[in-house]
Amino acid sequence: MEMSYADVVAAARAETRTVVEVDHRGDHAVLRLADPDKLNVLSAPLMLQLLDATTALVRDPDVRAVVLTGTGPAFCAGGDLRMMQEQAERGRRADDVEGAALPWRWIRQQFGAMARLLTRSDTAFVAALNGPAAGVGLAFALNSDLALAADGAVLVPAFGRLGLVPEVGTSWALTRALGYRRAFAFYVEGRHLDAAEACRLGLVDEVVPDGELLDAALAWCRRIVALPPHAVEMAKPLLRSAADLPWEQAVTMEEFAEPICFTTAGFRDGVGRVVADTSSG
């Protein structure tokens, strides 16, 4: 019997194992990909659980920052190759009714939906790469607001070798971090980047010893939640959109956003502290 997109989702919902874990810590949380024996590959059950957990976190008004990390030796091995292979074989059969629409739905409604939560929600996401980050897993790291890497982490651009294009926002992130030529070389060469080189290229923001990764990511969460709530919520969409705007439009957005800050208690408290510190100095 031919499986539809709805059938794939239903089968994934039937999974009884918990492969995504959430650790609530008041105003921030740790979101873990938790299928270490499979290197946290984005199987259908894991992807659905990840999307459900992330959706719940961004809807929680008390959670302002989230660490996204993996358990075991890998951050994420990327998409499920068996699912991809099955789809490639299914698409060759005469009785296949969905064709390319099935993987399109999965990519858009699962992978793409996760990327949109990372980029468009008001919640700040800190990717903590505890090991290899490949394919869509790498895309999720690049789409996060900050990315930290343990010494032993590597970035694995597997797209070209699989005959795929950069996916789920990766082309956007790579060209802005590297420029077109280096992004093209990164894709064609497919060379694994260690954490130090990834940091030098601007693909991750900080490299820390393996055993200190979570503490470093949580320190960024504390910096984020120490700011007035409105500040990060307004700055995140402003900064994300500014790179694609003409200068005049970027300035205009800032001009509209800044007066709103003046009306908040967070600004009044913050400016009061700075004035007091300046006066006492």
CATH number of the domain to which 183 belongs: 3.90.226.10
pLDDT of residue 129: 98
- Quickly tell me which residue has 């919640």 as its tokens: 123
Tell me the pLDDT of the chain (281 aa) as tens digits. Answer: 567 778 788 877 888 899 999 999 999 999 999 999 999 999 999 999 999 999 999 999 999 999 999 999 999 998 766 766 666 666 566 566 666 677 778 888 888 999 999 999 999 999 999 999 999 999 999 999 999 999 999 999 887 787 778 888 899 999 999 999 999 999 999 889 999 999 999 999 999 999 999 999 999 999 999 999 899 999 999 898 888 888 888 888 877 787 877 788 777 777 777 777 777 76
Structurally, how many domains does the chain consist of? 2
Q: Could you tell me if 217 and 252 lie in one domain?
A: no
Q: Could you tell me if 146 and 262 lie in one domain?
A: no
Q: Could you tell me if 269 and 182 lie in one domain?
A: no
Q: Could you tell me if 154 and 268 lie in one domain?
A: no
Range of the domain at 42: 5-226
Q: What gap in Å lies between CA 65 and CA 255, rounded to an integer?
A: 26
pLDDT of residue 214: 97
Q: Could you tell me if 208 and 248 lie in one domain?
A: no
Q: Could you tell me if 220 and 247 lie in one domain?
A: no
Q: Could you tell me if 155 and 276 lie in one domain?
A: no
Last residue of a domain, one of 182, 200, 226: 226
Last residue of a domain, one of 200, 226, 252: 226
Q: Could you tell me if 175 and 60 lie in one domain?
A: yes
Q: Could you tell me if 143 and 12 lie in one domain?
A: yes
Q: Could you tell me if 166 and 189 lie in one domain?
A: yes
pLDDT of residue 279: 73
Last residue of a domain, one of 226, 251, 270: 226
Q: Could you tell me if 220 and 262 lie in one domain?
A: no
pLDDT of residue 68: 98
- Quickly tell me which residue has 């970027």 as its tokens: 250
Q: Could you tell me if 141 and 237 lie in one domain?
A: no
